[in-house]
Amino acid sequence: MQNKYKKLLYLKYLLCLVMLSIISHVEAQLLHDKTKFTKQDTLRGSITPEREWWDLTYYHLDIEVKPDEKFISGKNTIQYKVLKPNQVMQIDLQEPMEITKVLQDEKPCAIQRDGNVFYIRLGAQKVGAVKSVEIHYKGHPKEAIRAPWDGGFSWKKDNNGKHFIATSCQGLGASVWWPNKDHMYDEVDSMLISVTIPKGLTNISNGRLRKLEDLDDKVKSHWFVNNPINNYGVNINIGDYVNFSEVYNGEKGKLDLDYWVLQDNLENAKEHFKDAPKMMKAFEHWFGPYPFYEDSFKLVEVPYLGMEHQSSVTYGNKYMKGYLGRDLSGTGWGLKFDFIIIHEAGHEWFANNITNKDIADMWIHESFTNYSENLFLDYYYGKEASADYVIGCRKLIQNDKPIIGPYNVNKEGSSDMYYKGGNMLHTLRQLINDDEQWRQILRGLNKDFHHQTVTTKQIEDYISEKANKDLSAFFNQYLRDTRIPTLEYKIENGMLKFRYVDIVNGFDMPIEVKINGKTEWIFPNSEWKTRAIESSDFEVDRDYYIYSKKVN
């Protein structure tokens, strides 16, 4: 028996290691954990005076990529509107990249570098004027060693020895490979992405292909993005690609679904990517119309796991169901879909349509998108399947620190924004207790915050208003505290006594319980409450993310 017990402990230990490994690999790219912040963190993460005086309107990113040298060079022309008097502009470009010159009105501008920030001294800036500045740059950009978690350029080759290259930079920032206003609060209204590469390769970027130029031994593609886009959503993907496509009849009409994959994977992709129109049907039902009809929807194969690049969602899940063939929930439902197709495409609504202003509020991206996996299952397999999945993922929650991070230093909160955030939203659905009202709240978020950058407060206030409930304590509990509410209860002398512990001030969430096999609502708070009970048959509904504990 003792040896058997030791084996069980060892197996449990191995399982914990595996689950921790899965957690670290499933999360979108998060920054390294840190509690001490530098001047560079503040410059990167705050709306500085050198940022706030101008509003982005247009980018033209025009670069050449030299794969053999792992080198890029070119320029970014930035168009902007002057909001207030100032002549110093902050442009972000991370080391070892360098800005070589800046021009405005064909005249060179003075440049001063402070780490990853360049201060550009401009001429007179008239309030209300629309101006442009041309930023020339070059360098060997940071190479991603473990993309997409560390970010940068992935310089790989396919099985045939051809270059297979992609960018990914969530969290780390787009300024790791191109100069821009690298803060989430100000999205550019539209963008042209021009990329020159060696002939024989194809570049796929965001939006739609406007033109393809033949330049002798090179080829130049021009991709136009018609909608606002966050910086980290901008990408280039270079490889020996082939294309197939279909037209989806969606809520706003015909939507082009384009798929770009390596030559050798074409037939496999034609079968496997059937999850894409299924995803679109489910998510338009729950969230409203796909937010970027003008730019189409693309899945693009890349040499890393995947990322939510707007209208150019990248895919590297090796044509497996689940997460690289694994079911994160342990229930079997996670193998009913390709995790990367569903999760990363869910970000088109939450991250690309609705974007957080500060990375501290990244839960707006990740909690809703984690929850989108459950809603996909709900749409095709029903509520119980959806509940099984989200509840099965609770074992991945760490409760190590609050979901919301510190503001103005480009720092996210806990990775619990995924599984705890998804369970928070699943709990909220139960609390609202009206699935159609819940669906209209999700659709309303995407309609009323269409193509906007938002704060946590805006999202909290919106849901509270539409649900006609004061949810401030609810959000404080799950977003800003690491404790999980615990329902303490005892049954004695025909009476049920119950209360919440481990809660924030004012937390009094009603929950559904089964008493003698019958579902009822109870209304706990921090004080003991009592009610009559005929037996000891008492059970808390599993859909609420709380703990329950019978006490003496």
- For 394-451, write each residue's pLDDT tens digit: 999 999 999 999 999 999 999 999 999 999 999 999 999 999 999 999 999 999 999 9
Place of tokens 């869910």: 346
The pLDDT, as a whole number, for residue 33 is 63
Using CA atoms, how far residue 542 sits from 477, 503, 537, in Å, is: 18, 19, 15
Give the pLDDT confidence of 132-187 residue by residue, as tens digits.
999 999 999 999 999 999 999 999 999 999 999 999 999 999 999 999 999 999 99
Question: Which tokens hold the place of 342?
Answer: 């569903």
Query: What does the alpha-carbon distance between residue 451 and residue 206 come to, in Å, rounded to a whole number?
Result: 16
For the chain, how big is the Rg over CA atoms in Å? 25
As a whole number, mean pLDDT of residues 338-353 equals 98
Residues 17, 21: Cα–Cα separation, whole Å: 6
Cα separation, 342 vs 113, whole angstroms: 41
pLDDT of residue 32: 53
Residue 118 structure tokens: 């360049």
Instruction: Quote the crossing angle between the two packed helices 435-448 and 419-432, to the nearest 10°.
Output: 120
- Residue of 367, 369, 392, 390 lying closest to 378 (CA atoms): 390
Burial call 266-302: b when 16+ CB within 10 Å, e when fewer:
eeebeebbebbbbbbbbbbbbbbbbbbbebbbbbbbb
Instruction: Look up the pTM and report it.
Output: 0.94
When pLDDT is cut at 50, 70 and 90, the band that residue 35 belongs to is confident
Q: What is the mean pLDDT of the chain?
A: 94
What average pLDDT does the segment 473-498 reach? 97
Supply the DSSP symbol for 326. Answer: B
The residue-averaged pLDDT of 72-76 equals 98
Q: What share of the chain has pLDDT > 90, as a percent? A: 92
Euclidean distance between CA atoms 132 and 57, whole angstroms: 10
Nearest to 426 by CA among 436, 435, 416: 435
User: In sequence order, what are the beta bridge partners of 242?
Assistant: 261
Amino acid 507: pLDDT: 98
Structure tokens at 437: 């009202």
Check residue 525 and give its pLDDT: 98
> How does pLDDT run across 46-69, given as a tens digit for each residue?
999 999 999 999 999 999 999 999
Query: What number is the average pLDDT over the span 124-128?
Result: 97
Q: Name every residue whose Cβ is closer than 8 Å to that of residue 439 and which is 6 or more positions away in sequence.
A: 285, 286
Is the torsion defined by CA of 443, 447, 451, 452 positive or negative? negative
**Residues 84-119: tens digit of each pLDDT:** 999 999 999 999 999 999 999 999 999 999 999 999
Report residue 463 as tokens.
Answer: 């849901």
Checking if the pLDDT of 522 tops 90, the result is yes
Residue burial 25-47, b: 16+ Cβ < 10 Å; e: rest: ebbbbbbeeeeeeeeebebbbbe
What is the helix, strand, coil percentage profile of the chain, to 5?
A: 30, 35, 35
Least confident of 34-48, 209-223, 414-428: 34-48
pLDDT in tens, 250-294: 999 999 999 999 999 999 999 999 999 999 999 999 999 999 999
pLDDT score, position 516: 87
